[in-house]
Amino acid sequence: MRKPLLPVALASTSLRSVGLFVSLGLLVACGGHSSSTAQVPPTGTTNVQQIVVNGGPVSGQRYPDAAFTSVTICAPKSTNCATVDGILVDTGSFGLRILKSAIPSLSLPTLSQSGSTIYNCVSFVDNSFLFGQVAQADVKIAGEVASAASIHVAADPTGFAVPAACSNGGVDADNQQTLGANGILGVGAEPEDCGLACDPSAGGQPPAVYFACGTTGNCNSAFVSVSQQVVNPVVRFSKDNNGVLVKLPTVNGVAATATGSLIFGIGTQTNNMLPTTATVFTLDSFGNFTTHFNNQALTRSFIDSGSNGLFFPDSAIPQCPANAAPGFYCPTTTLNLSAQNSSQSGASNTVNFSIDNAVNVFNGNPTADAFSNLGGSSGSGTFDWGLPFFYGRTVFTSINGQPVPTGQPAAPWWAY
């Protein structure tokens, strides 16, 4: 997710994404931007949804390098629906999370256990969080429908405080301005947001992901069966349910916007076939592969459209001032770098990329939203291939447990 001018990797098992906001007028300077040719989805294609890098839905606030789309949410088996735009497309998380403020007139049935309402919590490494009820909805995207899917409706509870095990004294992101979006569409490589770790079969003490709360609070961490957890909506589609493709145009440095496609299914239609030239990276039990960079084997690496930069450890690159773009790199000149991705299956591929001075880039392009040259620091052992990696590529994300095209390794994997 994100924080103003701060790259934030997520700490929970549910979400792993990075982002930043730029307040309009905070970084002001004259400058231009290069153009980018948009890829417009073909009309009438039921498995294609348009995505756009356009700064986000919050007036007066920029969210650079973030891809947004719209989602229609309906009460189950009804025509009572709301279409919400400004939804962050995130291949690094699993499940639909929507701000309640974005669907004020939509009443959805909520999940309960023994008279208590079930809430979901997502905590981030910057100590911010999302909290809200788990509800049932029919989720419609393009021509696909996920019926009776569990979604996370993020909102501060009425009548009691967010449990300390979730908030941990952190920043409440249950609002549009702090979140920078109206919700998150998690279409990553897992079918649910927690899986067996939160299922009653796990035994012991449940993790602080789901909570059973009474009307006046008394919230306790709770197990929730896999079938009722917040679900990656793709696996609930009747077809095209084994993964997604993200296609964005090439961005040479900086562009005003970028328009592309979120395509559902892998090998299920003529528009989502895995080409023979694609490199497939199988994932370890933690959902990662290895990136070799600067004589380091970064074994906890991943590809994540919800991250708005390339985040990796390199102490030799100067970081930006803490009062301007903390956590981002600010080299004195543009750096042309390369890294090699590899997986346990033996697949490997070299990626060339550039890192520019983030402060100069923002100051020089105050109205641009698409940047191919943003980078920042990450924790040891991690290379986060965020949205700049997606520009000019078709990136496949297969979902764990779902069928894959003939000749391909079992999911989960990424490919490009």
Percent with pLDDT over 70 in the chain: 88
pLDDT of residue 344: 85
User: CB–CB of 226/199 below 8 Å?
Assistant: yes
pTM: 0.90
Angstrom distance (rounded) from CA 259 to CA 382: 28
Query: If we measure between CA atoms, which residue out of 315, 402, 393, 285 comes closest to residue 39?
Result: 393
For the chain, give the number of residues.
416
Average pLDDT over residues 71-95: 97
Going by pLDDT thresholds of 50, 70 and 90, the confidence category of residue 390 is very high
pLDDT tens-digit series, residues 277-300: 999 999 999 999 999 999 999 999
Average pLDDT over residues 57-63: 93
Which tokens go with 99?
A: 């701000």
Domain boundaries, the chain: 2-236, 270-415
User: CB–CB of 41/52 below 8 Å?
Assistant: no
Angstrom distance (rounded) from CA 412 to CA 400: 4
The one-character DSSP state at 248 is B
pLDDT(380) > 80: yes
Query: If we measure between CA atoms, which residue out of 131, 139, 123 comes closest to residue 69?
Result: 139
> ∠ at Cα 181 (106, 13), nearest 5°?
95
Which tokens go with 173?
A: 């992101």
pLDDT tens-digit series, residues 208-222: 999 999 988 899 999
